[in-house]
Amino acid sequence: MHYYEEASNLKYDFDTVIDRRNTNSAKWDKTQERDLLPMWIADMDFKTADPIIKALEKRVQHGIFGYGAIPDEYYEAEVSWWSKRHNYKIKREWIEVTIGVIPSLSAVVQAFTEIGDKVLIQSPVYNYFNTSITNNKCEIVSNELKYNGEFYEIDFDDFEKKASDNKVKIFILCNPHNPVGRTWSKDELERLGEICLKHNVLVVVDEIHRDLVYKGNKYIPFASISEKFLMNSITCTAPSKTFNIAGLKTSNIIVANEEYRKKVNRSLNINEAIEPNVFGIEALIAVYNDGEEWLDQLLEYLEGNLDYLISFINNRIPKLKVVIPQATYLIWIDCKSYNMNSEELCEKILEEGRLRINAGKTYGEAGEEFIRINIACPRAVLTEGLERLEKVLKEL
């Protein structure tokens, strides 16, 4: 069954193309060239969920936007979402409120490392992990994921070898993984967690894509696996990717270990990263209480887009190979058949096809032969983007 054939049955409208130019959009206003189609930065071209819009409209009518305070309802909404959406019970006191996942990661790295320490990541991975590490004058250590021609696996021997280095203090885990689209299995998470415990490495988990999982796959919160993992981990989350509200600057750090939580809180305060804006507070409360229907239909639409992209590439650009994702709307595509490095290929696609996508090398050397495409857009936009891609690649 092709989900994209049933898009008209959805209650919410994901097909309407909304002009985002001249709205100070990082995605659309990076250039004033109106013929350029952006399918790169990780935000969606869909209007956000109705509960958010209604909550913000109500807040705007109040007319005063001073410093915000975090109400009880905020914490209750966060706790409730974990429980009803992911069957995971957290406690209110574990929650540290912040302005974003990357500021959170930077604060955590600062809190748990000294200058010259090392932080372990799994490349190819979200490039701003590197920034959080190097800005704190730490060294990046990469456990490269293994691509078997179909999907990615973890090289556990290499992981343990690198985790055993006494200078490695933190492992940043991306789950679900951006850009390769994996939701790590319980067995994989257990092996990673046990290795980190063995070598006294703190696990810091970016789970910002936790809600964007396709049918037949499962996201498992790392900290939910065992008490010992819970006490040796720090989890960073946000509603931003799920509900397209990155500009509202609201996220949460979940820290069960009281000693660790005090260190995180101190670092957040030092970096003044603890005050989300008043609109972000209202948005989280509204959508975590009343946003599931919209999210379920979003996932159905995204799955239709994924189905469409796979069919298009298999039939019309067969030299590309889609790494079938288990989660996220960021699609990782093998382009090694074109014998060009990813930066050169993306530059050619930009210049000749007026299509902006991400070069795989952005996410580390292990991504050199890949490109990343954002499919969180109306089907008509996706179709146009793929046709532009096809036209350029046919000429190579």
* Same domain, yes or no: 125 and 159: yes
> Quick one: 193 and 270 in the same domain?
yes
Do residues 53 and 288 make contact, with C-beta atoms less than 8 angstroms apart? no
In this structure, the answer to whether residues 60 and 176 fall within a common structural domain is yes
Angle at 124 between CA 119 and CA 126, to 5 degrees: 70
- The pair of three-digit structure tokens given for residue 69, joined into one six-digit string: 């305070």
Other C-beta atoms closer than 10 Å to the C-beta of 284 total 30
Domain boundary among 289, 304, 324: 289
Final residue of a structural domain among 289, 320, 342: 289
Looking at the structure, tell me whether residues 151 and 183 fall in a common domain. yes
CATH code for the domain of 44: 3.90.1150.10
Domain boundary among 260, 289, 318: 289
Q: Are residues 137 and 252 in the same domain?
A: yes
Residue type, 203: V
Examine the domain organization and report whether 252 and 169 are in the same domain. yes
Question: 339 lies in which domain range?
Answer: 3-48+292-394
Whole-angstrom Cα distance, residue 372 to residue 180?
Answer: 9
Q: Are residues 236 and 308 in the same domain?
A: no
- pLDDT for position 8: 53
Q: Tell me what pLDDT residue 3 has.
A: 39
What is the pLDDT, as a whole number, of residue 275? 84
Residues 244 and 305 in one domain: no
Phi, psi of 110 (to 5 degrees): -60, -40
Q: Are residues 378 and 325 in the same domain?
A: yes
Mean pLDDT by 10 residues, the chain (396 residues): 50 95 93 90 97 98 95 98 98 97 97 98 97 97 97 98 98 98 98 98 98 98 98 98 96 98 97 91 98 98 98 98 98 96 96 97 96 98 98 94
Q: What is the CATH number of the domain that holds 135?
A: 3.40.640.10
Pair 171, 200 in one domain? yes
Report how many domains make up the chain.
2
Cβ proximity of 283 and 243 under 8 Å:
yes
Give me the pLDDT at residue 18, please. Answer: 96
Q: Are residues 190 and 178 in the same domain?
A: yes
The answer to whether 170 and 201 are in contact (CB under 8 A) is: yes
CB 328 within 8 A of CB 43: no
